[in-house]
Amino acid sequence: MRDPQHITMNEDTRLIPIWSIVVAITAFVLVEYYFWLVLPQQQHHQPPLGFHIYFSLSGGVLIALYFLMVGYVSKDAPRRAMSPRFWIVICFVMPGGIGAVLYFLLRQPEVSRCPACTTHVQSDFHFCPQCNYHLTANCGNCFRTVRATDQFCTRCGHELARDHMPARLRVL
């Protein structure tokens, strides 16, 4: 498994890099420049002002959002042990935002570290694959994830008290 980049929960707001914000603002300004200064000189008749405002703003916002999404993908992919270069290329090559949709459909769960042996583990793992450390509370019968406060499994009805779950995973 690739070594994921670690971004703490407090840094989640910084998942859109500065370069992406600058490119998005620049793209928005360029679209507005085109719609308000270049395009009117090429047209024989002017469209109604409402249409002109709507299309210029929506075009600028869509292009700016596209660059912000590419910036988000560039920061989010390393957190999930995925190749950011590959996904940025996919976002640019696939037209109309299809690449970004594919990224969100196919992205891996976030990767964290096992508290016992510091191996990289996915967030949906119940046990560490290296040291068998019990990472999350789960049913001993069907092995589905349960909340620490549950007395019975919501899927199979198994009594969770019989599973002898570690005390750190139980709420008293």
Q: What is the pLDDT of residue 72?
A: 92
- List 110's β-bridge partners, or say none: none
Q: What is the pLDDT of residue 2?
A: 56
Q: How far apart are CA 67 and CA 84, in angstroms?
A: 14
**103: exposed, middle or buried (Cβ count in 10 Å: 0-12, 13-18, 19+):** buried
Q: What is the pLDDT of residue 172?
A: 46
Q: What is the pLDDT of residue 110?
A: 78
Domain ranges of the chain: 9-109
Q: What is the pLDDT of residue 140?
A: 80
Contacts of 29 (CB under 8 A, 6+ apart): 60
pLDDT tens series, the chain, 172 aa: 556 655 554 566 678 999 999 999 999 999 999 988 888 887 777 788 898 899 999 999 999 999 999 999 999 998 888 899 999 999 989 877 899 899 999 988 777 788 888 888 887 787 888 888 877 778 888 878 888 778 888 888 888 777 766 655 555 4
